[in-house]
Every structure is written in structure tokens, then in C-alpha cells.
Amino acid sequence: MGNLRNLFKRIFYNYFLRDFNVATLQLVAGFIIGMFGLVTGIGAWSRSIETGVPASAGTVMLAGLPFIIGFQLLLSFLNYDIQNVPRQALARFKRREARD
């Protein structure tokens, strides 16, 4: 549970407080669009089971396309996050020599 809390804290600090960039937009848009597709798909699926009438192709696409686009945006955010690794150390550390 602590790792999950630290993950959300790192994402919030790095992408909302310290720096607002394209990865922030990808994260927010991907989450919103993906959740819209997921909720729409679950609703259509449950209605289809309730009534016994299969969902039309348009209904399936209305649920599937936003979910796929949201997933792609979240993957793009993860790619940006992985590529955003510091190349140089922030501070230089001197190694202490062993005393005899």
C-alpha cells in the first residue's frame, strides 16, 4: 500500500506541481477517455444481457474506440515517464577512502 501511495505522490509532484507538460495531458485525457469507454461498454453489455438483444456495431464502437484511445494515451504517458530519467547526477559524492 505504501508503494502505491508513493507512486501517486510521485506522479502528482512530477507532473502536476513541478512541471506541467504533454505527459500530464496524456495522463488526464487517457484516464478520462478510457473510463468513458469502459463505463459505456459495461453499461451496454449489462443492457444487452438484461434484454437479450445483442449490442449493435455502433454501440460496440462507441465503447471500444474511446477505451483503445485512452489506453494508447496512458501507454504514451508511461513511455514519456520512462524516458524522463535524469542523465546526470544532481550532486557529486566523494568516496571516502578506507582508513587503515
Q: Which residues of the chain have pLDDT under 50?
A: none
What letter represents residue 80's amino acid? Y
- Distance (Å, rounded) from C-alpha 43 to C-alpha 37? 10
The pLDDT, as a whole number, for residue 88 is: 78
Give the E-state strand segments of 1-100 in sequence order.
none
The pLDDT, as a whole number, for residue 77 is: 96
| pTM score | 0.79
Residue among 23, 36, 100 at smallest CA distance from 68: 36
